[in-house]
Amino acid sequence: MRTHVMELKVGDRLKEDTFNRVGLHILPKGTVIQTEQIALLIRQSIDYVDIEPHDGSETEPAENVSFSQKLQENFDRTIQGYQAIFLEALTTGKFNQSMVDEKLLPTLEALDKRKNVSSLLYMLSHDDVNIYNHSLQVGLLSYYIASWLGYSKEECHEISKAGYLHDIGKSRVRQSIKNRGNDLQGEELEEMKKHTNYGYDIIRESMKDDEGIALAALQHHEKEDGTGYPLGIGKKEIHPYSQIVAVANTYVKMTTSTRQDTQGSLLNVLRKVYELGFNKLNESAVQALTNNLLPSFIGKRAQLSNGEIATIVYNNPTDIFRPLVKVDDFFRDLSRERNIEIEEILL
User: For residues 295 and 315, is the Cβ–Cβ distance under 8 A?
Assistant: yes
Query: Strand (E) positions, 51-179?
Result: none
For the chain, the domains span 2-50, 62-294, 298-346
User: For residues 38 and 5, is the Cβ–Cβ distance under 8 A?
Assistant: yes
Sheet holding 342-346, edge to edge: 330-333, 324-327, 309-314, 301-304, 342-346
pLDDT of the residue at 118: 62
Query: Strand (E) positions, the chain?
Result: 2-4, 18-19, 25-27, 48-50, 301-304, 309-314, 324-327, 330-333, 342-346
Entry pTM: 0.79
Which residues are CB-contacts of 211 (< 8 A; sequence separation ≥ 6)?
204
Query: Strand (E) positions, 153-196?
Result: none
What is the dotted CATH code of the domain comprising 62-294? 1.10.3210.10
User: For residues 197 and 189, is the Cβ–Cβ distance under 8 A?
Assistant: no
pLDDT band of 116, cuts 50, 70, 90:
low
Could you read off the pLDDT of 167-203 as tens digits, one per residue?
Answer: 999 999 988 887 676 678 899 999 999 999 999 999 9
CATH 3.90.105 fits 2-50, yes or no: yes
- Min mean pLDDT across 86-90, 258-262, 274-278 is at 258-262
Q: In this structure, are strands 330-333 and 18-19 parallel, antiparallel, or unpaired?
A: unpaired
